[in-house]
Chains A and B, each alone.
Chain A
Amino acid sequence: MTDLFMNLEIGFLTAVSANALLYCFIGCLLGTLIGVLPGLGPSATIAMLLPITFGLDPTASLIMLAGIYYGAQYGGSTTAILVNLPGEASSVVTAIDGYQMARQGRAGLALITAALGSFFAGTVATLLIATMAPSLAKAALQFGAPEYFSLMVLGLVVSVVLAHGSLIKALAMICLGLLLGLIGTDVTSGTERLTFRIFELSDGLDIVAVAIGLFGLGEIILNLSVEAEKRTAFAKAITGLLPTRKDLKQIFGPVVRGTAVGSALGILPGGGAMLASFVSYAVEKKVSREPERFGKGAIEGVAGPESANNAGSQTSFVPMLTLGIPSNVVMALMIGAMIIHGIQPGPSVMTDQPELFWGLIVSMWIGNLMLVILNLPLIGLWVRLLTIPYRFLFPAIMVFCCIGAFSMNNSSFDIYVVVVFGFLGYLFKKLDCEAAPFILGLILGPMIEEYLRRSMLLSRGDPTIFISRPMSAVMLGLAAIAILSVAIPAVRRARDDALLEE
């Protein structure tokens, strides 16, 4: 317990410096600003803003990133509530009841509920991370190569299970991602693989450029390819910002339950955070005495999922920071950013760079706080931002995407990557192939190969090492169960219902 406070103190000393606060604030502001634009989810927002942080020192850059992350997420919820345009799967649920509330003139209340719920969830999750991360990192140090390999397999499989649609397609997308992730120099032999003699590819495909293409440009093309789609903005004045005591009473239960659900699911490597909001919505509907109100503007339907989503996205930092394993696209981008700064995410970050580690954790909480402070007065501004017609919006997004890609390495090559993956992103969407498993594969490709190699070297080429080591066997077993649960049609139908319930 004393350790906990000592650690948090290190964190506060780092995160509460004027500099760090400033970057956190700028991050939150930019994140919300871009995230609130319709059609831009958190992944796209972060991919576009990442390059800005590259010039800062590692700690400041990660703190700013955390700010961007929370800002983008909150911005996404704002768009979901006000114009019924969820930028990402996780805010689909928020849109259901949030938009109905907005139509009833209770948009302000919905936005406040989302902010307060998120803040509560963020606070609890931060404490949870601070207590759990050290023991988890200690456990992670016991992990050998086979355990890491199996854990990554588990993470990838879970990301597939959570994806919509066809299992085979998602598995293929993982393989494609892993394969493209191996493009570049093979660390062990120094051989350049699959680079087509292109010099810039010897370092591999840049994950940020790929993400900008898939989520930024791909999304624009998709939007423009839909003929005369009306993007009506919500122009109604926002009234009734402050919740009454009755409202607070009504949201307390959902917020607490959502936080619990989200925290638990977020820790799982493999995108549990996304599922958190769906599970929370289902829970709230189940425990409610008037389930028929859901879908017609029930405040619990906003409070629960938003808290769950935020708690989940917070605790999903745990596998990222302690194991170096991303659980979703955003975490994959964060790992990409850390690697650019020369930090290899993993259990040693906590001991080698305590300021960075605890500073990041504390600044997550400060980011949450800042969101509440920032957004209460600015909600009116975000609403006005939503009325920008798409004909002005998409050229601006194009410009951000291209400048972002260019400024990463100051080279046009990354824009070519953006163009190629912009096209692929469009195609994938049209073919119902999900991009998330692909991105996770892309970042995990080199890591998973390395651990496979080491394991096989350890076992002298005997693949049974993965099932003879208990930890590894358990994780592979879980992965197998996850796959089977999706493959069996009955369970599968239930999953589709849960994910498609709109």
Chain B
Amino acid sequence: MTSYIRKPKDFISGAIFLVVGVGALILLQDYQFGTARRMGPAYFPAILAAMLSCFAVVLIWRSLGGTREAMESVPMKPALLILGGALLFALLIRPAGLVLAVVPMVFLGSLANTPFRWQVALPTGIVLALGSAAIFAYGLGQPIPVLGYWFGN
């Protein structure tokens, strides 16, 4: 399938832009367009979405010609682990609190690094958890739960 696509980077970015542009145009059907004189909520976004779609088509069109370019690999493992860690933090911060949200996040995130050693990841997490609790919650007085409502706070 890649044989027609000479510039995979242009093709993929074009495809993403096209999906967003067309998707926005479809979603905007639910809102009022209004007139040029009295623009409704959908007027300007629709112009932008249309422009975005046009640029996307040009990108896709151009990706089919010219010299062949290589696509570098886009490893998903670090992305999933780092973002998964952040997600875990978001889910845990209220119920478990800062300390117990940081440790698993750091642990999960550290799996993205090679070589992974839990002997490094675990202490790093604990130090960061205690350190950030000291700096942000106590030092700067920010309203971050150090221990969450699971602990009756």
> When the two chains form their complex, are residues A168 and B112 in contact, meaning their CB atoms are under 8 A apart?
no
- Residue A230 at the chain B interface, CB threshold 8 Å: no
**Is A241 in contact with chain B by the CB < 8 A criterion?**
no
User: Do A419 and B44 touch (CB < 8 A)?
Assistant: no
Q: Which of B16, B36, B85 sits near A456, CB closer than 8 Å? A: B36
B40 at the interface (CB under 8 A from A): yes
- A182 in contact with B86 (CB, 8 Å): no
> Closest CB-CB distance, B136 to chain A, in whole Å?
5
CA distance A176 to B62 in the complex (A): 20
In the complex, whether B64 has a CB less than 8 A from a CB of chain A is no
In contact, A194 and B45 (Cβ under 8 angstroms): yes
Given contacts A55-B142, A189-B32, contact A176 B52 (CB under 8 A): yes
Q: Are B79 and A225 in contact (CB under 8 A)?
A: yes
Report the tally of A-B residue pairs with Cβ distances under 8 A. Answer: 185
Q: Establish whether residues B86 and A224, one from each chain, have CB atoms under 8 Å apart when the complex forms.
A: no
- Cβ-defined partner of B10 (8 Å) among A52, A166, A422: A166
Cβ contact within 8 Å between A395 and B128:
yes
Interface window among A2-10, A83-91, A361-369, A423-431? A423-431
Bitwise, A384-404 to B at CB < 8 A (1) or not (0) is 000000111011101111110
Within 8 A of B (CB), among A440-470: 449, 452-453, 456-457, 460-461, 463
Contacts of A264 in B (CB 8 A): none
- Kindly list chain A residues whose C-beta atoms are within 8 Å of the C-beta of B129: 399
Residue of A with least CB distance to B115: A391
Per the bound structure, the CA–CA distance linking A401 and B132 in Å amounts to 12
Q: Is A130 an interface residue, CB under 8 A from the partner? A: no
For B79, the chain A residues whose CB sits under 8 A away are: 221, 225, 422-423, 426
Contact B86 A419 (CB under 8 A): yes
Contact between A430 and B20 (Cβ–Cβ < 8 Å)? no
Q: Is the CB of B120 within 8 A of A422?
A: no
Q: Given the known inter-chain contacts A176-B17, A224-B78, please indicate yes or no for A402 contacting B90, CB distance below 8 A.
A: yes
Residues of B within 8 A of A171 (CB): 51, 55
**Interface 9-residue window, one of A37-45, A407-415, A477-485, A487-495:** A407-415
A168-B59 in contact given A179-B52, A399-B105, A419-B86 (Cβ < 8 Å):
yes
Tell me if A381 is interfacial: C-beta within 8 Å of chain B. Answer: no
Cα distance, A422 to B48, chains bound together (Å): 24
The 8 Å CB contact of A391, one of B35, B89, B124, B141, is B124
Q: Are B45 and A457 in contact (CB under 8 A)?
A: no
Which of B86, B94, B140 meets A217, CB within 8 Å?
B86
Q: Which residues from chain B contact A418 at a C-beta distance below 8 Å?
A: 86
Whether A395 lies near B38 (C-beta < 8 A) is: no
Contacts of B45 in A (CB 8 A): 179, 182, 193-194
When C-beta atoms are compared, the residue in chain A nearest to B74 turns out to be A430
Enumerate chain B residues within 8 angstroms of A394, measured Cβ to Cβ: 109, 113
Q: Is the CB of A398 within 8 A of B44?
A: no
Main SS at interface, chain A: helix
B100 within 8 A of A: no
| Chain A interface residue count, Cβ-Cβ cutoff 8 angstroms | 61
Given contacts A179-B24, A402-B89, A433-B13, contact A396 B74 (CB under 8 A): no
A432 on the interface (CB 8 Å rule)? yes
> Are the CB atoms of B52 and A172 closer together than 8 Å?
yes
Residue of B nearest to A401 (CB): B86
> Which residue of the partner chain, among A217, A412, A460, contacts B37 with CB atoms under 8 Å?
A460
With beta carbons under 8 angstroms apart, the residue of A168, A178, A225, A398 that contacts B86 is A398
Question: Complex formed: what's the CA distance from A3 to B27 in Å?
Answer: 53
Interface residues on B, range: 35 or more
Taking CB atoms and an 8 Å cut-off, the chain A residues in 143-169 that contact chain B are 166, 168-169
Residues of chain A lying within 8 A (CB to CB) of residue B128: 395-396, 399
Least CB distance, B33 to chain A, in whole angstroms: 11
Give the nearest-CB partner of A430 in chain B.
Answer: B74
Q: Quick check: B42 and A427 within 8 Å, CB to CB?
A: no
B83 touches A168 (CB 8 A): no
A93 within 8 A of B: no
Instruction: Give bound CA distance, A217 to B58, whole Å.
Output: 30
Q: Is B5's CB within 8 Å of the partner chain A?
A: no
Contact pattern, B 44-62, Cβ under 8 Å of A = 1, otherwise 0: 1100110110011011001
- The reply on B75 being an interface residue by CB < 8 A is yes
Does the CB pair B113–A391 fall under 8 Å?
yes
Chain B min CB distance to A496 (Å): 15
Residues from chain B with Cβ under 8 Å of A392 in the complex: 120, 124
CB contacts under 8 Å to B, within A166-223, are 166, 168-169, 171-172, 175-176, 178-179, 182, 186, 188-189, 191, 193-194, 217, 220-221
Contact of A172 among B32, B59, B125 (CB under 8 A): B59
Which parts of B71-114 form the interface with A (CB within 8 Å)?
A: 72, 74-75, 78-79, 82-83, 85-87, 89-91, 93-94, 98, 101-102, 105-106, 109-110, 112-114
Q: Are A423 and B83 in contact (CB under 8 A)?
A: yes
Q: Which residues of A contact B17 (CB under 8 A)?
A: 172, 175-176
Q: Is the CB of A179 within 8 A of B48?
A: yes
B9 part of interface (Cβ distance < 8 Å): yes
Whether A1 is near chain B, meaning CB under 8 Å from some CB there, is no
Cα–Cα, bound, A452→B38 (Å): 11
Contacts of B94 in A (CB 8 A): 412
Q: A224-B112, A422-B79 are in contact. List 18 more A-B contacts (CB 8 A).
A: A55-B140, A55-B142, A168-B62, A169-B13, A172-B13, A189-B40, A217-B82, A217-B86, A221-B83, A399-B129, A410-B143, A415-B86, A415-B93, A422-B82, A427-B16, A427-B74, A430-B74, A456-B39
14 CB < 8 A contacts A-B:
A52-B142, A55-B140, A169-B10, A186-B41, A188-B39, A191-B41, A221-B83, A395-B128, A398-B105, A399-B102, A402-B93, A407-B143, A412-B90, A463-B36
The 9 closest A-B pairs by CB, nearest first: A461-B37, A415-B90, A172-B55, A224-B78, A461-B36, A186-B41, A175-B52, A412-B90, A191-B41
